[in-house]
Structure 1
């Protein structure tokens, strides 16, 4: 199939483009610059230049690529400062709203039949009920203020993709990435904070995280391109775990002392309201549907094994 990937040169794109090429697809990469054009070509894709926030440029790129499938991996997430959570996600929020709308409009004009979009299943589920959520569970209906814009942008993307009756819309709710190019790559600032005991357990550490190796997420995306059906899929590993469990274990892998524990009010001063939510109230996700319907199995079924080489 002819596949156009938007957001093609980030951590996910670097894993996804070669896999799509290896699977026999004719792959096009939507990039913004000559540097991105060179990177996309190195990864085996045909580059097309467009700014995702410019509707005319996006329409021209889709017209040039003439894809059967568009994969939306548009993000601009760098270092996440939980004290300024909304600011950290502002550029990505805009891409998830305007970029998605522009891609969908161009897809409709040019008869694209399938649209696969990156969503977030790591930080977005409602914070009530059981510790592990399925795709049927809602996004957080009452997020704390610093997280509201991010969750609203995710909600906009999902509603736009799933509500477009003229195309087969597929939403992939990825877990927290680790692996090459991510915030939990070898030598990353986040791992160094854990190594230096600057990443404490806040409160009871009861927030449940679902991780996924970026390579496994790329494999799941290829499966969605080839055989996904309209709807939502959680793309996470088999082992959702509370912060009080995974953080000390990761510290041990790094050869560090156990992380400090601080009460919620201290955590709020240091990491902000969003940081406390991530540490104490987060809900994990189940990958049962993705396994069942996509035939996908993560090569790193648990972060306990997958993070060890990274650490």
Structure 2
């Protein structure tokens, strides 16, 4: 059944793949942007565009009330160069502030607006790449808690992710823990670093990551919306893998030389503790629940296929 969908963050890398999929399924989409200059892009994607400041409660409340949606999909982040500047993982806590605020204040504003407008269903963006709890095995399910990485520069970001899950699940909604995105516009900066040999393996490269193509992530989001899903779902591909496997393969697909390898002590000095954790201790995620409960089928079951096609 077609519904009115309010997509907060419609011009992000995922929003631009999600909106057309929703439109193709017959849904009426109202999508937000922070810039009036991008309203034309949303119109081209098939949505009604709205300028909204996700950190302003009044702006959010007015936008949701005017849209009169049947569901809200929260895809607001602040990791673009426009909002956060060049990625700075050594100072993760400072670089991630725009996204942290959107995942805390922004989520609260959207939930308050949903309650005020009587919106019955809410789907929010979570994260499941390298951030599973580091005890136990290398691949985590939805039953496993996310790591908080207390005492590191990632702690505030991890606490923001926990906040999203706590409040959205408390409101009867769904949180989609997306893996690391790749696809149009998603990893251009990483590929450039690989080609410049500025993206080294750290230590043994034993840390796991989980990837997902933007189109597969969008497809899972459409299913969660249409099925009125509740709870947490890992939206990742079939092959969580250590950096020692995926990073050299990414370099090969990009036509680059093999990544250099640096010891953990040097990486800690140059790039910080968070990068060391990602590359040596990170935990990946399993997708069985999303497949089973959402009927999700991946176009790109593995990053091996996806990287090759993306960089061909």
Q: TM-score, normalised by structure 1?
A: 0.95
Question: Does residue 178 of structure 2 align to residue 174 of structure 1?
Answer: yes
Residues 182 and 213 in structure 2, CA contact (< 8 A), matched pair in contact too: yes
Residues 144 and 273 in structure 1, CA contact (< 8 A), matched pair in contact too: no
Distance of 2:136 and 2:148 partners within structure 1: 13
Which among 108, 119, 125 is matched to residue 115 of structure 2?
108
Report the CA distance between 1:202 and its aligned residue.
0.5
Residues 5 and 71 in structure 2, CA contact (< 8 A), matched pair in contact too: yes
Report the CA distance between 1:89 and its aligned residue.
1.0
Moved more, 244-253 or 135-144: 135-144
Distance of 1:257 and 1:49 partners within structure 2: 43
Q: Secondary structure at the match of 2:175?
A: strand
Report the CA distance between 1:259 and its aligned residue.
1.4
Residues 228 and 293 in structure 1, CA contact (< 8 A), matched pair in contact too: no
Moved more, 136-145 or 122-131: 136-145
Q: Which residue matches 1:53?
A: 55
Report the CA distance between 1:32 and its aligned residue.
2.5
Residues 148 and 159 in structure 2, CA contact (< 8 A), matched pair in contact too: no
Residues 205 and 244 in structure 1, CA contact (< 8 A), matched pair in contact too: yes
Structure 1 residues without counterparts, runs of 5 or longer: none
Residues 238 and 301 in structure 1, CA contact (< 8 A), matched pair in contact too: yes
Distance of 1:83 and 1:141 partners within structure 2: 17
Question: Does residue 32 of structure 2 align to residue 30 of structure 1?
Answer: yes
Q: Which residue matches 1:236?
A: 236
Report the CA distance between 1:231 and its aligned residue.
0.2
Q: Which residue matches 2:135?
A: 128
Distance of 1:100 and 1:232 partners within structure 2: 16
Moved more, 37-46 or 280-289: 37-46
Report the CA distance between 1:239 and its aligned residue.
0.5
Residues 59 and 103 in structure 1, CA contact (< 8 A), matched pair in contact too: yes
Q: TM-score, normalised by structure 2?
A: 0.94
Distance of 1:160 and 1:173 partners within structure 2: 15
Distance of 2:266 and 2:191 partners within structure 1: 21
Distance of 1:282 and 1:116 partners within structure 2: 26
Distance of 1:310 and 1:99 partners within structure 2: 32
Q: Which residue matches 1:62?
A: 64
Q: Secondary structure at the match of 2:168?
A: helix
Distance of 1:205 and 1:246 partners within structure 2: 10
Q: Which residue matches 2:275?
A: 275
Q: Secondary structure at the match of 1:108?
A: helix
Distance of 1:228 and 1:236 partners within structure 2: 20
Which runs of structure 1 show a deviation greater than 6 angstroms over 4 or more consecutive aligned residues? none
Which among 70, 89, 110 is matched to residue 82 of structure 1?
89
Distance of 1:259 and 1:181 partners within structure 2: 22
Distance of 2:310 and 2:195 partners within structure 1: 13
Q: Secondary structure at the match of 1:11?
A: coil
Q: Which residue matches 2:247?
A: 247
Q: Secondary structure at the match of 2:272?
A: helix
Q: Secondary structure at the match of 2:96?
A: helix
Q: Which residue matches 2:83?
A: none
State the Cα deviation string for residues 22-53 of structure 1 (Å, max 9, x = none).
10111101223321222211111112222111
Distance of 1:41 and 1:257 partners within structure 2: 41
Q: Secondary structure at the match of 1:224?
A: helix
Q: Which residue matches 2:262?
A: 262
Distance of 1:35 and 1:10 partners within structure 2: 14
Distance of 2:229 and 2:59 partners within structure 1: 29
State the Cα deviation string for residues 210-252 of structure 1 (Å, max 9, x = none).
0001111011110111014210000000010000111112222
Q: Which residue matches 2:204?
A: 204
